[in-house]
Amino acid sequence: HTRGTSGAQVVASVHVEALPDNAVDEVLLVEALASESAPETYGEANRASFVRAVVASCDLSAPDAAARLEALMAASPTRLRGVRWITNFAGALEPGEAAIVSRATWPRVAKDFSTDPDFEFGLGLLPRLGLSFDLQANPRQLPRWARVIARHPGLVVVLDHLGHPRGLGQGDAEHDAAELAAWRHGMTALAALPNVNVKLSMLGYAVPGWWADEGKEALVKGLVLETVERFGSERFGATDRH
């Protein structure tokens, strides 16, 4: 990452959870790397001191969600800004099919957290702690999430990855039409909520190969422009909401 951004004037970054086995351990590692006292063996090229904020992993449906949040805040008392829990649900898993931990290229979890009252209770804990929620969900889930979020106007939400449209521009017109219809419906519902922001990220997931094909590039451009039009320029970005 450092090599890839060497020509840019990067002044700070946000670490977003990366599917850790232990959320507190991940945060402690980031804190160690970001600290001025981090061991010299990490090297100047690591530039971990650019990490100014952390979005940690937390299953808000867990019975001990409050204690987990307290532990994360203790591990990162100055950098923790919010939490993320991947909620992409596309129906029950097939026999032998693994959930998200081993399928990071196709986010898919085993239950629909948008209809889980325990998860919504956990969401309600975040505003009083000054923490935001990074929402990662499939387009067809977005209207349900809009209804949940509308009940929590004090919660700052950051919608990840452009609302997560998947696999567009690959020659399947029927898939594209259905995916875009669901995406537009969900994005319109979320954009109507002033506490929801959106990240322009994971464009290669939305339209694989967009950088090497003019037609696909135009499709990505259209998605970005639609998103900016719905949310307004003050509610999009990749890091400014953290």
pLDDT band for position 107 (50/70/90)?
Answer: confident
Choice between 214 and 51, residue whose per-residue pLDDT is larger: 214
Residue 242 reports pLDDT greater than 50: no
| Those residues with Cβ within 8 angstroms of residue 103's Cβ, 6 or more apart along the chain or in another chain | none
Structure tokens, 192: 């109507």
> pLDDT tens digit string along 137-153?
999 999 999 999 999 99
Mean pLDDT of 78-103: 86
Residue 21: how many other CB atoms lie within 10 Å: 8
Residue entry with tokens 């509308």: 150
Model confidence pLDDT, tens digit, residues 22-76: 999 999 999 988 876 444 444 454 555 578 899 999 999 999 999 999 999 999 9
d(CA 162, CA 201): 6
Question: What sign does the dihedral 70-71-73-77 (CA atoms) show?
Answer: positive
Alpha carbon 54 to its chain's center: 12
DSSP annotation string for 171-216 = S-HHHHHHHHHHHHHHHHHHHTSTTEEEE---HHHHSTTGGG-HHH
